[in-house]
């Protein structure tokens, strides 16, 4: 069997990125194709289609041998890009699924971005491509195709590969269950899943995600009057809906510590994950919390590095990410407002069923008695459970180690991630024997979902090389 020339892989990937990937990613960043939950006009404004067309046109120009590309779109759902690449080894049935997404988070205010950059104004600064969606997760299509092209240039055998790029991930992959059922016969017998939508603990080695937290998004609304009333007349008679909402949040979160202790929401952290967090903390050190954009003299929740990692990856957290009923300060009059609505983003531990946890949150927030008999509702907007990786087979662990040593000159590492990739949980249930490589390029200060999101170009190239190397080893493993 032909041996992979890793130097040639690195050279090809470098040339591919420099000649076409980076420029196409810049064009992709310019498209404001927000995920459906953030854009009520997503199905009529043509932005998702524009992003799909850009990516598809680039893929078609690559002439990926023995491949079939199709854009699939149900009328009421976001599209998916499906690329089926025939096996070039003896096993024609076993499939590797490579996954990414093309929908984006909201842009946030342009004023929050670095001078000269913007959510839809791509700019390269110090080897980092700034702009919304480049790292999360626009690069994935280009990385997956380039990895396969690198193998084909050397006639290195690979299994049947299916590249699936969805467009509703940032909305909880709301359309993916439909497409998974529709496409099940074409996905085949999946033995390895490579997800390119995750993060990295630093930019020095190949990182594999060992777990992902779940997500629950809820709207807590508290209403006390039918309309706003002069605060001089009503203050002291009509209670503040903000104060009532604040007190209700104490039912799920300790206001002093941020702890969420309800057992249905919090669960118990497995001992093995505590040990893994301790080992990762030794590698990353203070970078775990110092990567955050703290103001001078501001402090993290804790400086215990192991506990920092566990807080981020295995414990539930609550944040208020938006509100209604509260006007901007520049137009806020002296009025006692009739209602307060808070959008809650609640991260759930990887092993918690968010369907159960979301109902528990709703129950706690709506439970009587309610102060002043205010009208309270908790609407669950979306939820998606987290995921824990199965233990890697020896061949796969060895392959990831070799790839990291080859292209990063350091061993691979494992880390839990605080974010959510709903598709991983779906795949784990439907393909219980499959192995997972969940990786990505969202490292320190890359700030996915926030201002100044960037793609670390050099690391993205190296991750692409690692994927190519793992695909080559997968074929060898199947033939052994």
Q: For the chain, how far is it from start to end, CA to CA, in angstroms?
A: 11
Tokens (6 digits) for 45: 């404004």
Distance from C-alpha of 239 to C-alpha of 316, rounded to nearest angstrom: 30
pLDDT per residue rounded down to tens, the chain (480 residues) = 579 999 999 999 999 999 999 999 999 999 999 999 999 999 999 999 999 999 999 999 999 999 999 999 999 999 999 999 999 999 999 999 999 999 999 998 888 999 999 999 999 999 999 999 999 999 999 999 999 999 999 999 999 999 999 999 999 899 999 999 999 999 999 999 999 999 999 999 999 999 999 999 999 999 999 999 999 999 999 999 999 999 999 999 999 999 999 999 999 998 988 998 999 999 999 999 999 999 999 999 999 999 999 999 999 999 999 999 999 999 999 999 999 999 999 999 999 999 999 999 999 999 999 999 999 999 999 999 999 999 999 999 999 999 999 999 999 999 999 999 988 988 998 999 999 999 999 999 999 999 999 999 999 999 999 999 999 999 999 987
Distance from C-alpha of 360 to C-alpha of 203, rounded to nearest angstrom: 39
Distance from C-alpha of 351 to C-alpha of 242, rounded to nearest angstrom: 33
Pair 224, 339: CB distance under 8 Å: yes
Phi, psi of 351 (to 5 degrees): -95, 5
Tokens (6 digits) for 350: 């990887």
Neighbours of 231 (CB within 10 A): 15
Neighbours of 357 (CB within 10 A): 24
Pair 60, 69: CB distance under 8 Å: yes
Q: What is the DSSP string of 9-56?
A: HHHHHHHHIIIIIHHHHHHHHTS--B-GGG-TTTTTS-HHHHHHHHHH
């Amino acid at each position: 069997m032909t041996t992979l020339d890793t130097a040639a892989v690195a050279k090809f990937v470098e040339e591919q990125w420099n000649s076409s990937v980076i420029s196409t990613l810049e064009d992709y960043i310019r498209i404001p194709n927000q995920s459906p939950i953030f854009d009520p006009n997503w199905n009529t404004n043509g932005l998702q289609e524009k992003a799909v067309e850009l990516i598809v046109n680039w893929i078609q120009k690559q002439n990926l041998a023995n491949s079939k590309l199709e854009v699939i779109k149900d009328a009421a759902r976001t599209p998916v890009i499906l690329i089926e690449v025939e096996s070039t080894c003896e096993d024609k049935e076993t499939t590797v699924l490579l996954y990414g997404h093309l929908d984006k988070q909201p842009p946030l205010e342009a004023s929050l971005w670095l001078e000269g950059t913007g959510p839809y104004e791509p700019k390269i600064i110090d080897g980092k491509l700034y702009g919304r969606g480049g790292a999360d997760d626009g690069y994935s299509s280009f990385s997956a195709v380039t990895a396969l092209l690198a193998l084909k240039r050397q006639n290195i055998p690979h299994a049947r590969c299916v590249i699936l790029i969805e467009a509703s991930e940032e909305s909880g992959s709301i359309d993916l269950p439909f497409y998974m059922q529709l496409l099940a016969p074409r996905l085949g017998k999946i033995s390895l899943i490579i997800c390119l939508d995750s993060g990295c603990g630093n930019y020095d080695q190949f990182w594999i995600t060992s777990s992902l937290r779940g997500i629950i998004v809820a709207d807590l609304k508290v209403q006390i009057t039918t309309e706003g009333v002069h605060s001089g007349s009503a203050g002291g008679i009509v209670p503040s809906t903000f104060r009532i909402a604040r007190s209700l949040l104490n039912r799920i979160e300790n206001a002093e510590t941020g702890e969420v202790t309800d057992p249905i929401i919090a669960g118990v952290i497995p001992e093995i994950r505590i040990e893994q967090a301790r080992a990762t903390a030794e590698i990353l050190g203070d970078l775990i919390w110092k990567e955050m954009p703290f103001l001078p003299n501001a402090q993290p929740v804790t400086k215990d590095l192991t506990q920092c990692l566990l807080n981020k990856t295995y414990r539930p957290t609550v944040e208020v990410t938006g509100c209604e009923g509260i006007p901007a300060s520049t137009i806020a009059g002296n009025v006692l407002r009739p209602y307060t609505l808070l959008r809650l983003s609640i991260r759930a531990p990887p092993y918690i069923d968010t369907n159960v946890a979301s109902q528990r949150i709703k129950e706690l927030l709506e439970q009587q008695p309610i102060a002043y008999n205010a009208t309270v509702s908790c609407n669950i907007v979306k939820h998606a459970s987290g995921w824990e990786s199965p233990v890697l087979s020896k061949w796969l662990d060895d392959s990831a180690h070799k790839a990291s040593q080859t292209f990063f000159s350091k061993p691979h590492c494992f880390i839990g991630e605080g974010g959510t990739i709903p598709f991983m949980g779906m795949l784990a249930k439907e393909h219980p024997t499959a192995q997972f490589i969940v990786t990505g390029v969202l490292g320190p200060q890359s700030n996915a979902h926030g201002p100044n999101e960037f793609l670390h170009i050099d690391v993205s190239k190296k991750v692409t090389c690692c994927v190519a190397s793992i695909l080559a080893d997968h074929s060898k493993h199947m033939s052994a």
